[in-house]
Amino acid sequence: MIRNVIFDCFGTLIDTGTGSVDAVRRILKNIGLDTDAVRFYSEWKALKKEMMIDGPFFSEKELFRLSLEKLFEEYRIDADTDEAVRPMIQNLFGVRTVFSDTKEILRWLDREGISYAVGSVSDSDSMDHFLRLNGLEIGRVYTSEDLGAYKPVPVFYQKILDSTGWKPEECLFVGDDPMDDVAGPQSAGMKAALLDRRGGRIFGMNVEPDFVLHSLRELPDVLVKLKTE
């Protein structure tokens, strides 16, 4: 029986919007590089992800700087990385708003007496900023900085389970990333629901969510179904 829900935060509870790509556009403008911001950000994210999984632990702010430094080397860009990365760091403390279904579903969980937590790839100060900004009061919040690990490394999920005392078979992880929020939690023994708000998500061969949601408003039906199994 599922007794607990663990949510991803950004892209699940809080809308990230276009802030990161906008920050990249400012960076490219500042260094005078005429290239596609979306492609540049995609390459930057890939480098950052590699460092999250394979390297020693760094805060997200430091990872942004280190991975940008590597990308600048690949592009043969001679620029001050500490200065260049500032728009992205500022974006970590910008304006992001909750999705329209976020507070509704959290209130429902409270009424039903279902425990929940947040497990997010973020620094703790950035997470605190966005929770306060959106008036979200969540008792159990775990950031990668808190845990000293990033998704989808198994220890990320295990440390949440250890801290809460929850059993993996009694937890449902809900998030918008197939690897971080489906494959990772499943490897820790949890069920996973992929939140595919836009529809049409194509899954990799090794990723098969237990449930696919198109809105958090579908979550109660999933939990009721799991309760009867």
- Domain total for the chain? 2
Statement to judge: residues 66 and 127 lie in one domain:
no
Query: Which two three-digit tokens encode residue 96?
Result: 């992001």
Statement to judge: residues 194 and 106 lie in one domain:
yes
Statement to judge: residues 143 and 84 lie in one domain:
no
Statement to judge: residues 223 and 114 lie in one domain:
yes
Statement to judge: residues 69 and 136 lie in one domain:
no
CA distance 141 to 128: 9
Statement to judge: residues 9 and 23 lie in one domain:
no
Residue at token pair 């708000």: 197
Statement to judge: residues 52 and 156 lie in one domain:
no
Q: Give the domain range for residue 220.
A: 4-16+96-228
Statement to judge: residues 33 and 11 lie in one domain:
no
Statement to judge: residues 187 and 217 lie in one domain:
yes
Look at residues 75, 91, 107 and tell me which one is the last residue of a structural domain. 91
Q: What integer best gives the mean pLDDT of the chain?
A: 95
Look at residues 37, 67, 91 and tell me which one is the last residue of a structural domain. 91
Statement to judge: residues 103 and 215 lie in one domain:
yes
Statement to judge: residues 148 and 120 lie in one domain:
yes
State the pLDDT at residue 1. 87
CA distance 102 to 112: 16
CATH number of the domain that residue 157 is part of: 3.40.50.1000
Contact 79, 31 (CB under 8 A): yes
CA distance 19 to 97: 11
pLDDT one-digit tens code per residue, 75-99? 999 999 999 999 999 999 999 999 9
Statement to judge: residues 162 and 113 lie in one domain:
yes
CA distance 98 to 87: 22
Query: Which two three-digit tokens encode residue 73?
Result: 């080397």
CATH number of the domain that residue 35 is part of: 1.10.150
pLDDT one-digit tens code per residue, 152-197? 999 999 999 999 999 999 999 999 999 999 999 999 999 999 999 9
Contact 112, 134 (CB under 8 A): no
Question: Is the confidence at residue 118, as pLDDT, over 60?
Answer: yes
**DSSP secondary-structure letter at 181?**
I
CA distance 57 to 207: 26
State the pLDDT at residue 109. 98
State the pLDDT at residue 66. 98
Q: Which residues contact 136 (CB under 8 A, 6 or more apart)?
A: 13, 98, 102, 103, 106
Rounded to 5, what percent of the chain is helix, strand, coil?
50, 15, 35
